[in-house]
Chain A
Amino acid sequence: MKREPFFWVSISCGIVIMAFILLPLIQLLTSPSVGMLRESIGDRDVVRSIWLSIYTAGLAALISFVFGTPLAYLLARYDFRGKRLVEGIIDLPIAIPHPVVGIAILSVAGKNHFFGQILAELGVRIMGSVTGIVTVLTFVGIPFYLNAAKAGFEAVSPRLERVSRSLGASMFGTFVRITFPLAWRSMLIGIIMCSARAISEFGAVVIVAYHPMIAPVLIYERFEAYGLKYSQPVAVWLVSISLILFLLLRILTLHKVEEQ
């Protein structure tokens, strides 16, 4: 069967894009020697920073999930005046330059701001702390979770929820028995997207917290201080571990699909 030109153009574009993504990645993954990789993972600072990156990103995703799910559900089901504005505000963190995010959060968290004074009284510290890091990561990651979850809820027909209500279920009961089982896949994708965004964040975190060091800050510090040779191995470990984690999550979803 002869394929028309549009088909070939599409294939070519696809190849270009794959090459665009893969070339730098392959270069990164193959640059460090096995020795350097082993030395890197043996360095306690490296392991600590990668672990810090993973669990702060995880916390950010968890917070996004807990607080973002009700809002996503609201936006999916209800129309109200100013809804477009709310949706625009939710997308704002994506557009703000990352150092600006860090500066803004620091300004609110310091004692020169009324909110910062409240935090100081409560003994909550943002600058140079894990709390601060998680705050920043949640700020940049929550739009990704919200949008994915909202799309997932929109895909569940409101009629199903209405029937459930008529049969005696409360709003919460309906959410647990009907909406969640049908939308959980989108929510999981949202969590993955949020985590991915959080784990790679640098510009905003480095302003709020240089120490404790997340992996991207460590990589940058090593690059600035000692050059490529000492920073690439850490980057390789971070990328590899993230890849494995995300792949695992994706496989888990596939598994469930096959079960059904």
Chain B
Amino acid sequence: MRAAILFRWTWCAMVAIILILTQGQAFAEVSGKIVIFNAGSLTIPLAQMEKEFEANYPQVDVLREAAGSQKCARKISDLKKPCDIMASADYKVIDKLLIPNYADWNIRFATNQLVLCYTDKSKYAGEVNAKNWYEILARKGVIWGHSEPNLDPCGYRALMVLQLAEKYYKIPGLYARLVANRPKENIRPKSVELVSLLQTGNMDYAWEYLSVAVQHGLKYILLPDQINLGNYRFDEFYSQAVVKVTGKKPGTFMDMKGGSVTYGITMIKDAPNREAAIAFLKYMLDPQGGLKILKNQGQPPFVPCRVPTGAMKSSLPEPLKDLVEVKD
């Protein structure tokens, strides 16, 4: 009898403690604005994350600004615009443009691959497939484009895919021929702009991430893993592709080397709202939180997220350390 009563009381106490603990976490004193500069391809997943997060933290207002990842970085470094979190489609942009002056660490949290998007109104839409796509893009009269390589990783990645295609299909001169059929007018600063051009019928084909194609309901061609920048096993093959883009200062340039698409995220050094930012990151990098949303929207996350070195892991804010493993 006494054992039963004792057991019941312990059980209640445990439940109460657990409730108090979890309640404590939900009603933390987190409030105010969180400013996120994010890559265009993260817009739709982040919008949903914002909804979920603000439901749990009603005092917080998440403000997102989407742009090509290099442009996001420049807003922070050159224009000194206030920002809490920067989420990039290429972790290398954070490494090259923000570390060490504006950020200390870089968490890699998701992958993606490039696909060739089109609609049923596109020229040769009935004909195009994974075997003849490069031949169709070279045809006169076909309007196809990508985003600005100097402002958006999707831009230089598209060029990398083309360079890799030349090597993979063993067609010398393919890259130059394709670029010749893509005039400057078909380049847009942000890759997501290309989606509306496809949908209105102003463009026939555009290079986009698979996640964006899925999110917008576009038709797409899946490319072999060797060239789609989506499989880290082919990192060595990818590294053959090199694209020159503008560097830290106007007039300078830097080389972006091909590598599997890896998204990176960081918190800016003098973030105006550190507490709220960390809370958001803790939610976003949680496999049941933000990462689940990414997966549902066609963008494979790293579960768990990664940092390249132990040193970087120890420089992370405490609440985030558990969500991250060390892996290069």
Interface string of A111-137 (1 = CB under 8 A from B): 111001100100001111100000000
Contacts of B318 in A (CB 8 A): none
CA distance A111 to B197 in the complex (A): 10
Closest approach, in angstroms, between the C-beta of A161 and any C-beta of chain B?
46
Contacts of A117 in B (CB 8 A): 201
CA distance A227 to B143 in the complex (A): 32
Contacts of B186 in A (CB 8 A): 128, 211
Which B181-198 residues have a C-beta within 8 angstroms of A? 183-189, 196-197
Q: Are B74's CB and A106's CB within 8 A?
A: no
CA distance A221 to B75 in the complex (A): 12
Q: Are B185's CB and A212's CB within 8 A?
A: yes
CA distance A116 to B121 in the complex (A): 11
Contacts of B3 in A (CB 8 A): none
Contacts of A128 in B (CB 8 A): 183, 185-186
Interface string of A85-125 (1 = CB under 8 A from B): 00000000000000000010011011111001100100001
Contacts of A224 in B (CB 8 A): 71, 74-75, 79
Q: Does chain B have a CB within 8 A of A226?
A: yes
Q: Are A221's CB and B189's CB within 8 A?
A: yes
Contacts of A127 in B (CB 8 A): 143, 185, 197, 202-203
Interface residues on A, range: 20 to 34
Q: Does chain A have a CB within 8 A of B199?
A: yes
For A212, give the chain B residue with the smallest CB separation: B185
Q: Are B185's CB and A116's CB within 8 A?
A: no
Contact among B71, B75, B143, B200 with A112 in the assembled complex (CB-CB below 8 Å): B200
Contacts of A103 in B (CB 8 A): 196
Knowing A112-B121, A127-B185, A212-B185, the reply to whether A225 touches B202 (Cβ < 8 A) is: no
CA distance A129 to B183 in the complex (A): 11
CA distance A136 to B204 in the complex (A): 22
Contacts of B150 in A (CB 8 A): 225
Contact among B71, B74, B188, B201 with A210 in the assembled complex (CB-CB below 8 Å): B188
Contacts of A225 in B (CB 8 A): 71, 74, 78, 150-151, 246, 250
Q: Does chain B have a CB within 8 A of A215?
A: no
For A217, give the chain B residue with the smallest CB separation: B189
Q: Are B197's CB and A210's CB within 8 A?
A: no
Q: Are B202's CB and A212's CB within 8 A?
A: no
Closest approach, in angstroms, between the C-beta of A125 and any C-beta of chain B?
8
Knowing A212-B185, A224-B71, A230-B250, the reply to whether A106 touches B78 (Cβ < 8 A) is: no
Contacts of B196 in A (CB 8 A): 103, 106
For B74, give the chain A residue with the smallest CB separation: A225
Closest approach, in angstroms, between the C-beta of A76 and any C-beta of chain B?
38
Contacts of B203 in A (CB 8 A): 127
Q: Does chain B have a CB within 8 A of A209?
A: yes
- Determine which residue in B71, B151, B200 has the highest number of CB atoms from chain A within 10 A of its CB, and name it: B200
Which B176-228 residues have a C-beta within 8 angstroms of A? 183-189, 196-197, 199-203
Knowing A112-B121, A225-B74, A227-B78, the reply to whether A211 touches B185 (Cβ < 8 A) is: yes
Q: Are B200's CB and A106's CB within 8 A?
A: yes
Q: Are A106's CB and B185's CB within 8 A?
A: no
B residues neighboring A (CB under 8 Å): 71, 74-75, 78-79, 121, 143, 150-151, 183-189, 196-197, 199-203, 246, 250
3 nearest CB pairs, A to B? A128-B185, A111-B201, A110-B201
